[in-house]
Amino acid sequence: MYTPRINWVLLVLYGLAVAGVFAAALLIPTFRDIAYAPLRELILPPPAPIVVSVLYSTEKDAWLKDVITGFEASGAKVNGHPIKVELQALGSWEINAAVMDGTRKPVIVSPASSLQITALQDASITRTGKSLVNPADSGACRPVLKTPLVLVAWKERADVLWGQQPASTLWKNVHDTLVNPQGWAALNHPDWGYVKFGHTDPLKSNSGFMTILSMTYGYYGKTSGLTSSDILTDRDFQKWFLDTESSLGQFEDSTGPLMQKMITYGPSTFDFVAVYEATAIAQADNAVGRYGELRIYYPPALLWSDHPFCILNADWVTPEQTQAGKLFINYLSSQPAQNLALMKYGFRPVDPSVKLDQAGSPFDRYAANGFIADLSHLPELEIPAGNVLNTLRDFWSRNVTR
């Protein structure tokens, strides 16, 4: 059958176009999606993924693994390349150390608090003249979850120590009860033995460092303006601080095990501990029916664990990884991921459209345990400059470590 010349021409042009698309798809992955699907899957290799490695603190482990599945299934791509997220957990302060000494080279770091980001910024500038992180760039470095430091106590002990809620003199009162050689006998309860308080190791765990920072602010009765001089030159403060810390037993490496130890062994081990609100929420059901009522109490001034995700400004991070990292951070801040963080894991969302008091939220379920959704009546502690944070850590390391 005779085929007009024009049809042959069109057929040749179509064939050249198809071949061109497949050739372009081999060289430029963004063309892959417009290639003919059956042949594409048979002939074209899938584009290599862009790997985004994340060095993160363990407190958000379950939530992070939960949301990564949704992110990778969302089809997010950079220049036609899919994005693969690889996770490695480490203590918050250990993240800083690993990045600074070069033993870890992640694309993103996510300690438990902006405290570590501030300290990392100061340490990297001091050592190299260049900051590894830029908190001012919200596209590449921003918090995605919030949870305050709280005190968890057996109610009968807390009723004696501070009543309904701790007063502004909380940490001075805690010091006085801890160092009193009469222990609970000084408060008319000799059968309770010594007063037992616990927090994690400040050199490894963010909640432990938040605790000693809160204590330091509490000693001076202020919420901002803490300086290195306050720590290094005030002998009265140093004695007060070290007397407090010397009255404590072994420091746990992370917050979860500390909370579990309190619930497992009860007031024979701890009368009260300093942990994250989200950690207390996660263990609320496990504490029922063990050693009496376990309640949480908010310090007189709040210190937030805000879980920043920050893309490193480092020579091992490529522009494509930076783009992929920003897409990942955007996903973590999205409404579905934020709602999951609240409803399943007890974190406060940074997305204001996710309401804390919605039906079934932890603040609804556990209100009787002392959890409070609206904390606007409490002042917040200022995050000091990085050199102040590093001075406080060094002071603890030199004088308390055991």
Domain borders along the chain are 5-43, 50-143+308-346, 147-305+362-399
- Is the pLDDT at 53 greater than 50? The verdict is yes
Structure tokens belonging to residue 357: 């008091």
Q: Tens digit of pLDDT for each residue in 61-87?
A: 999 999 999 998 899 999 989 999 999
% pLDDT > 90, the chain: 79
Q: Return mean pLDDT, the chain.
A: 89
Q: Tens digit of pLDDT for each residue in 350-380?
A: 999 999 988 899 999 999 999 999 999 999 9
Contact yes or no for 52/107 (Cβ under 8 A) = yes
pLDDT of 22: 45
Which tops the pLDDT comparison, 30 or 172?
172
pLDDT of 24: 46
Q: Half-sphere exposure of 350 toward its Cβ, with a 13 Å CA cutoff? A: 18
Contact yes or no for 56/107 (Cβ under 8 A) = no
pLDDT of 43: 57
pLDDT of 33: 54
Cβ neighbourhood burial of 124 (10 Å; 0-12, 13-18, 19+): buried
Which of 337, 351, 385, 314 has the alpha carbon at shortest distance from 109?
314
pLDDT of 25: 42
Task: Over range 308-330, report the average pLDDT.
Answer: 97
Which of 168, 103, 93 has the alpha carbon at shortest distance from 378?
168
Which of 57, 60, 93 has the alpha carbon at shortest distance from 201?
93
User: Using CA atoms, how far apart are residues 72 and 153, in angstroms rounded to an integer?
Assistant: 41
User: Using CA atoms, how far apart are residues 267 and 402, in angstroms rounded to an integer?
Assistant: 23
- Is the pLDDT at 31 greater than 90? The verdict is no
- Block residue for tokens 């791509």: 77
Contact yes or no for 198/274 (Cβ under 8 A) = yes
Structure tokens belonging to residue 235: 């002998």
pLDDT of 105: 97
- CB neighbour list of residue 164: distance below 8 Å, 6 or more residues apart: none
Which tops the pLDDT comparison, 184 or 21?
184
Fold match between domain 50-143+308-346 and domain 147-305+362-399 = yes
- CB neighbour list of residue 11: distance below 8 Å, 6 or more residues apart: none
Kindly provide the b/e burial profile for residues 221-239, where b requires at least 16 CB atoms within 10 angstroms of the residue's own CB: eebeebebebbeeeeeeee
Structure tokens belonging to residue 152: 């968890």
pLDDT of 316: 97
Kindly provide the b/e burial profile for residues 300-329, where b requires at least 16 CB atoms within 10 angstroms of the residue's own CB: bbbbbbbbbbbbbbeeebeeebbbbbbbbb
- Is the pLDDT at 158 greater than 50? The verdict is yes
Which tops the pLDDT comparison, 199 or 16?
199
Q: Which backbone phi and psi does 134 adopt, to 5 degrees?
A: -130, 85
**Superfamily of domain 50-143+308-346, CATH level 4:** Periplasmic binding protein-like II (3.40.190.10)
- Is the pLDDT at 138 greater than 90? The verdict is yes
Rg (CA), the chain: 27
Q: Tens digit of pLDDT for each residue in 200-251?
A: 999 989 999 999 999 999 999 999 999 999 999 999 999 999 999 999 988 9
Which of 76, 67, 73, 65 has the alpha carbon at shortest distance from 326?
76
- Is the pLDDT at 6 greater than 90? The verdict is no
Helix segments in 129-253, DSSP class H: 155-161, 170-179, 206-220, 228-232, 235-246
- Is the pLDDT at 307 greater than 60? The verdict is yes
pLDDT of 13: 52
User: Using CA atoms, how far apart are residues 150 and 276, in angstroms rounded to an integer?
Assistant: 6
pLDDT of 4: 55
pLDDT of 8: 58
Between the alpha carbon of residue 311 and those of residues 28, 197, 224, 390, the distances in Å are 26, 37, 28, 22
Between the alpha carbon of residue 136 and those of residues 69, 121, 310, the distances in Å are 29, 11, 11
Cα end-to-end distance, the chain, whole Å = 93
Kindly provide the b/e burial profile for residues 339-352, where b requires at least 16 CB atoms within 10 angstroms of the residue's own CB: bbbbeebbbbbbbe
Structure tokens belonging to residue 279: 């950690």
User: What architecture does CATH give domain 147-305+362-399?
Assistant: 3-Layer(aba) Sandwich (3.40)
Which tops the pLDDT comparison, 17 or 329?
329
User: Using CA atoms, how far apart are residues 380 and 384, in angstroms rounded to an integer?
Assistant: 12
> Which of 17-26, 64-73, 191-200, 322-331 has the least mean pLDDT?
17-26
- Block residue for tokens 């080279």: 105
User: Using CA atoms, how far apart are residues 205 and 90, in angstroms rounded to an integer?
Assistant: 10
Which tops the pLDDT comparison, 139 or 22?
139
